[in-house]
Structure 1
Amino acid sequence: MAVNSSQGMILNSMTTSLNNNEQIYDGKLARDIWVYGSAVITVVGTIGNILSILVMTRKKLKKQTTALYLVLLSLVDLAVLYTGLMRHWIRESTGTDIRDTSTPSCKIHIFLVYFLMQFDAWILVWVTVERLVAVYVPHRAKLMFTRKKAATQLAITALVLMTINVHFMWTHSLVRGRCNISSQRYSYFVYTIWSWLDFVIASLGPFVIILSLNLAIVVQVVHLDRKRRRNSTNTTNKRTNTMTGVLISVNFVFLLATAPMTIYLSTQSYWTEITETTEGRATLHIIWACLNIVAYTNYSINFALYCFSSPTFRQELLKMFRVLSCMFKVYPSKESTDCTDHNDNL
């Protein structure tokens, strides 16, 4: 049946209205993902990372080199949440982008976000290298990865990454009220060279290294576990296995959380056709919000992984809570044994 012009106008009007409502819904959904997802991840990550730092700096754990890496990892995780994720929460909640408030905030904020995310990934690389040496040649690991040497490695890594990211101080500035490239002469470097360089430094490079080293670690751990069952165990082996288990779980979540973003960024050039339509752009906004929330989860979940994979961590956490409970008791029982851990470091 043919549709007359009046009916056609009504149908077109209804279609336009439905499309507009869908676009509004898609925009609201992306905003809700940012607002509520960011709030939950920030709260959980803040509590978890602070508890991780307190436990890892206790007497029984802080002497281990791995603990130094994991304490710094928790500190950087907190910094990433409060610089990177908090910016998105503020922008979606209030409509204000902190990068657009002034030229210094534009330059410093974008520098910090890139540096911290890259540094976080390379801390995991270093601790994975340390665990690899620990499971293959444990006696040499004690000489190669002392706390002093580990601190030096981390300081050099941070310095190198800062140098790589220092270009933001002149390539970006506040332009017509928005944080953007300061001059068109930097556009090729920022959008072509730097985008791939950052992809390799922050995502692809650490991803490949951590995945490869973890496979080697798992192979050796399985071999040592079979050997251990045939022989008597000792405390050193148990401690090594515990810290290795912690690392493997942390690395697994890192790979799982960053893989979707890595795949998306590496295939971004093939998504150009989708961005040509309003519906396509709305869909990509939702995908982008989801991928970021998944990626930022990596910075908030390590405490749960430590509790799940390390009996030693759980024991020290319970001891710390007992100490705190004793500290806040007005009249602690003289016969109670729960307060015997008072002399341990918090």
Structure 2
Amino acid sequence: MSNSTNTASDSLVVAYYPFTLVIVGTSLNILTFVVLCRSTFRDTKKQPIIHYMRTIAIFDILMLYGWNLDHYLQAVHGYVLLTYTIATCKIFGFLNYFAGQSSAWLRVFICLDRYLSISRLHRTWFSREKSVLIIIASVITILTLFNSHFLIFTCYYRPSGRISPNSPLYIIYPLWDYVNLGVYNFAPFILMVTLNSGVIHHLYRRHQTQLIQNSRINHRAISITLVITTCLFLIMTVPATIASAFSDIPPPISVKILDPVLYTYHILSFPLYFLTFKEFRQECIMMFGCSKNQHRVRPTLTATHTGAGITK
């Protein structure tokens, strides 16, 4: 009796946690986007990194409506969007890979922006507003084309009348899971570690030689923030992607446990920004009317501080 009760409880958690992620994650990412559109962050010429952060908030929302939502629908309602209709099969088959890959590579370019801002005395091409918009558009375009075969060649009716998410011309699953492992996890993680290590190295050197005596950058805070972001990406996304790529069908319990952990990563932007990004935290406090001061002194982010100026 006890075992059956525990099994029922576990199944309930597995079913409703993804749905909770959809509600909470959508709310937090929308809130993140709204805060980043407020007055402090509107001068995107001085702080073009804000464009990355806004776009990531949108893709992190989309990320929650693919396989994550399917986990809930399958457990509670007995169907998944991936095989519900031909249209949903194509759209969500594409979205499952496109959203995560876009989110990961935009994070890579944030790391690149931080590295160039702290390691160069003058603003580089990558740190200009127009260039950032070009990079974002290029990332989206390239990954759209990279995954466009889902919209063209996949999904067909089997003789039994059921929808297959594969292609009649070639086998997509698990081939694209292996590809996704490199594009979504390994390549971004290696680049993030390399760039963040460079940021920490330059911050340490500048601190030692006192080249930024009057800087508003909290060196310890930015170093900790970069390490936390990269470590969370490794811990929360890589195991789930590896397990999914090499798992059997139906997936084992390990995949059902690790998948929610992966999607949890994509709802953490708001709490991370709130805890480590001083200007973001101040905007949140002002937005919810929690500030005791009626007269507000608006924080100013310089181009260099934007690249590495997450203060605590």
Q: TM-score, normalised by structure 2?
A: 0.81
Correspondence 1:1-346 to 2 at 5 A = 28=8, 31-62=11-42, 63=44, 64-141=47-124, 143-175=125-157, 176-183=161-168, 185-187=169-171, 190-191=172-173, 193-228=175-210, 232-235=213-216, 237=217, 246=225, 248-264=227-243, 268=246, 285-322=252-289, 337-338=293-294, 340=295
Whether contact under 8 Å (1:73, 1:123) holds in the other structure is yes
Q: Deviations over 1:313-343 (max 9, x none)?
A: 2112111212xx89xxxxxxxxx853x45x9
CA distance in 2, matches of 1:106, 1:155: 25
How far did residue 26 of structure 1 move? 8.9
CA RMSD for the aligned pairs? 3.2
How far did residue 29 of structure 1 move? 6.2
CA distance in 1, matches of 2:48, 2:274: 19
CA distance in 2, matches of 1:83, 1:263: 18
Amino acid at match of 1:186: Y
Q: Deviations over 1:127-182 (max 9, x none)?
A: 111111111114234x4321211111111111111111111134321433233223
Whether contact under 8 Å (1:85, 1:296) holds in the other structure is yes
How far did residue 227 of structure 1 move? 3.7
CA gap of 1:101–1:86, structure 2 versus 1, over 3 A, is: same
Aligned length: 293
Q: State the structure with more CA Rg.
A: 1
CA distance in 1, matches of 2:61, 2:104: 14
What SS class does the counterpart of residue 139 from structure 1 fall into? coil
CA distance in 1, matches of 2:74, 2:242: 26
Percent of pairs with identical residues? 22
Higher helix share: 1
What SS class does the counterpart of residue 181 from structure 1 fall into? coil
Could you list the structure 1 runs, at least 4 aligned residues long, displaced by more than 4 angstroms after superposition: 24-30, 240-248
CA gap of 1:173–1:212, structure 2 versus 1, over 3 A, is: same
CA distance in 2, matches of 1:147, 1:245: 27
How far did residue 285 of structure 1 move? 2.4
* Structure 1, unpaired ranges of 5+: 1-17, 276-280, 327-335
Q: Deviations over 1:257-279 (max 9, x none)?
A: 1132244357x3xx77xx8xxxx
How far did residue 191 of structure 1 move? 4.1
CA gap of 1:250–1:52, structure 2 versus 1, over 3 A, is: farther
How far did residue 246 of structure 1 move? 5.0
CA gap of 1:150–1:79, structure 2 versus 1, over 3 A, is: same
Q: Deviations over 1:5-55 (max 9, x none)?
A: xxxxxxxxxxxxx9xx97x78975664343222133223212221221122
What SS class does the counterpart of residue 214 from structure 2 fall into? coil
Amino acid at match of 2:263: Y
Amino acid at match of 1:215: S
CA distance in 2, matches of 1:29, 1:138: 57
Whether contact under 8 Å (2:90, 2:151) holds in the other structure is yes
CA distance in 1, matches of 2:23, 2:190: 30
CA gap of 1:241–1:52, structure 2 versus 1, over 3 A, is: farther
CA distance in 2, matches of 1:219, 1:205: 21
What SS class does the counterpart of residue 107 from structure 1 fall into? helix
What SS class does the counterpart of residue 288 from structure 2 fall into? helix
Whether contact under 8 Å (2:49, 2:132) holds in the other structure is no
Which segment drifts farther, 293-302 or 162-171? 162-171
CA gap of 1:83–1:265, structure 2 versus 1, over 3 A, is: closer
CA distance in 2, matches of 1:210, 1:231: 25
What SS class does the counterpart of residue 296 from structure 1 fall into? helix
CA distance in 1, matches of 2:244, 2:137: 29
What SS class does the counterpart of residue 44 from structure 1 fall into? helix
* Structure 2, unpaired ranges of 5+: 300-312
Amino acid at match of 2:284: L
